[in-house]
Chain A
Amino acid sequence: MGVKVIIPTPLRPYAGKRDSTEVKAGTVGEALGRLTTEFGDLRKHLFTEDGKLRSFVNVYVNDEDIRYLAKENTPTKDGDTISIVPSIAGGLCDGY
Chain B
Amino acid sequence: MATAPTLKMSSEIAQKIREHGAETYPHECCGALLGRDDAGTDGIATAGGVQLPLREILALFPLVNRREDSPHNRFSVTAEDVRDAEKAAREKKLDVVGWYHSHPDHPARPSQYDREHAWPWYSYVIVSVAKGKPAEMTSWRLSDDRSEYACEEIAIRDHAAR
Contacts and interface: CB of A to CB of B under 8 A. Distances in A.
Interface of A: 8-14, 17, 41, 44-45, 56, 58, 65, 85-94, 96
23 contacts: A9-B41, A9-B96, A10-B119, A11-B119, A13-B121, A14-B120, A17-B41, A41-B144, A45-B120, A45-B146, A65-B79, A87-B82, A88-B30, A88-B75, A88-B77, A89-B76, A89-B113, A90-B117, A90-B124, A91-B74, A91-B75, A91-B101, A93-B112
B38 interface: no
A17 B95 CA distance: 15
B120 A13 contact: yes
Contacts, number: 104
Given A9-B95, A41-B144, A85-B82, A90 B44 contact: no
Given A9-B95, A9-B96, A91 B113 contact: yes
Nearest to B101: A90
A91 B67 contact: yes
Interface in B124-162: 124, 144-146
